[in-house]
Structure 1
Amino acid sequence: MHELPLHNPAEMRHVLLLDGVAGLMDVTTNRAVVGTRNSGIDLLRGLAILLVVLHHIGLRIPLKKSLLADVLPTRLLSALNYNGYEAVFVFFVISGFLIASHALRRDGALAQIDLRAFYARRFSRIAPCLVLLVVVLSVLHLLGVDDYVIKREGQSLPRAIVAALGFHLNWYEGVTGYLPGNWDVLWSLSIEEVFYIGFPLVCLLTRRAWLLVPMLAVLALSLPFTRAVLEGNEIWQEKAYLPGMAAIATGVLGALLTTRWPAASAGVSRAVLWVGAVGLLAVLLAERWLWPLLHDGSMLVLTTSSLCLVVACQWRQDLPALQGLGWLRRWGQLSYEIYLTHMFVVFAVVRAYKAMGSDQALGFLWYLPALPLCWLLGAMVERFISTPTERRLRTRLLSRSVVRQPAVQPATAMD
């Protein structure tokens, strides 16, 4: 029987040198544990958050009804507008990979996770923006501002607050129906944080790779079946805990894989990269052909493809194709802040669009101010709220923790 990966000092140094991963989405981790960021993972996260924003705009101002449909394939325009849900599952995979990778580097093995430090980091990253968002949304509800009032029968502001801060907003929506858009985005955070509340406890209880890895594999492979058995409640089918946790478990398995094999040949890494890219594009662009064949299995293709891309980016951190995409990588670095705040911009832009006559043919023009404004709001929140507050909280909460590795100042951005 073997403990969960414990490496000799030389091997651990090798891992640390090769691992340029910075922080999450996790939909939540984005701060660097070591001094550099992994540009490929940031780029993938940037693509995911961009698809989320395009989805929420597209539900209200669809590109396929604009003049762009005369020059671009409708399938492409629909792919840009209607893959926000799939993008969240990409985030889940990245989150599982980065959180587990960071824990392995800090503590040497998942069986040796420092519970206090783990939860302190999660709280420091999640709580400031989450609490601020809930306060702002509560004030807007009490002021009766359109788009922010909770008015569905069976729902109330106090109960929504408890659901948001208690990480069961997904369940609350499954029972009562959709909340206003700014509240609704918190469904994924509920799944992610419940996973991370239980994950280190499971690691400490199992303490053996031969126990933990099969458990993670079963959970990861359960994705098509957990979605299928939830038919009958559309909201709960999409937002239940197990499907999201299956995607996160996929990422954790990837972290164990790259910790065990921190490097691969150029040929292997290139092949894994292409498999991931083709699989992801197939799900995003050709789901109408995949769905009749695979049904909910297409989500497993999505998570597996995302994992291939993440693993390839971990093995190859010098991808030449990343040059010139700094703007998209920056979106990835700000993904948590943009995710929580972008609906403020979406609602404002849609109201302006309607006030100007709701001309669907020119609807694509409203994306031009919406996208940079989403980025700007996320950047402001990151600079003035999340980063300084997280730094102070970590300093206070981790001051008494045992430091197992030299502390490194985190880079800007989600951990």
Structure 2
Amino acid sequence: MIKSLRKKFILVSMCSMLVVLLGIVGGILAAGYRRIAERADHVLQMLAENNGEFPFEDMERKPPEKPERTQKDFHLSPELPYETRYFSVIYDEEGTVLETKTGNIAAVQEADAENYGDAVWKKGKTKGFYGSYRYLIQKETEPMGIFVDCSRELDNFYVLLQASFLLSFLGSSMVLILVLFFSKRVFRPVAVSYEKQKQFITDAGHELKTPLTIIDANTEVLEMMEGENEWTVSIRKQVKRLTRLTQQMVALTRMEEGIGEEEMCILCLSQVIQEAAEPFCQVAENEGKSLSIFVEPRIQGKGNEMQLYQLVSLLLDNALKYSLPESSINLTFRKKGKRAELMISNETDMVPKGNLDILFERFYRTDASRNSETGGSGIGLSVARAIVQRHRGRIQASSSDGRHIAVTAIWER
């Protein structure tokens, strides 16, 4: 249990760290990419307003001072016309390329410029990226397409992208190592305390066996000497109840310790469930109740026969104890994909609607007085949950109307 809790702690810590890290890195990269696009759009707009050429005279003037500068303001350097690589294409009204201007770029020939122009016109968008070129299509006066080379900016962006992911991976690996190291030290006191608790339960279970056996034997001798009476009957009843509780606590502790995992084998699950459920038909009849059993035949799977037998016995015993007089209990066992599903339902007193998984907590009692009358220990459903978890499954209890309760166990076959 401590190992499982530690794994969950590590998983939650790493997932939280990765979400925050990806958010920060993603935000930085998105802002950088957006900045590249905005700067290219600013240059394209300037070129479009001047028929595909830079206004050299305006660029050489000193820009007026502004009281405030927003994020989208760009400083126009006099070197911008000389360091910007661009070309343009002229269209007719139908979108056919009439002319190309490639004098300001060496990497693109006229044929390439014509192909680029055709491709972006057919896309139907007025601006965007085509490869490493940011383009703008102007249709107001003379249709024109202008392309600005952003390869240098994009290369820098991709280098930043790769470095960010590499550093994130290395950082995550270092954090994982640190979390693994420190989580072991943090959980060590909890693990020691939990181990002592389990050892106490196991030792107490073994120590209680002898006095319980002696009490039972002495009660039997008293009955032989004095005859059976209400006091000896009460003693034997409480001894039986305490013996059962001790056995369940020891069994639960052994399952939580992982003892017996090697006892899993391939068996006929249908046969095990059927054989475990049939004896309860007579028990139900003696109590004036009915038990309906439906088991889908020939379901094969991996499991522990004794534990599955115990699972059915615990759930049916619980259903019989807490069902209403003259009511019906239903057991259904069937395949559900690659899993097996066992469902037991019964009519009971008023219970809350919805999820009732709190019933599987140790010593939980919905009605203490009634549990005392029926002899319930409050730990049987906890043992049932441990058995299902050992079979890599889950168990849940629910009520749809507040008068019927259904316990469903699903595990891998």
Is the TM-score greater than 0.5? no
TM-score if structure 2 supplies the norm length? 0.23
Rg (Cα) greater in structure:
2
**RCO higher in 1 or 2 (8 Å CA, sep ≥ 6)?**
1
Structure with the higher strand share, 1 or 2: 2
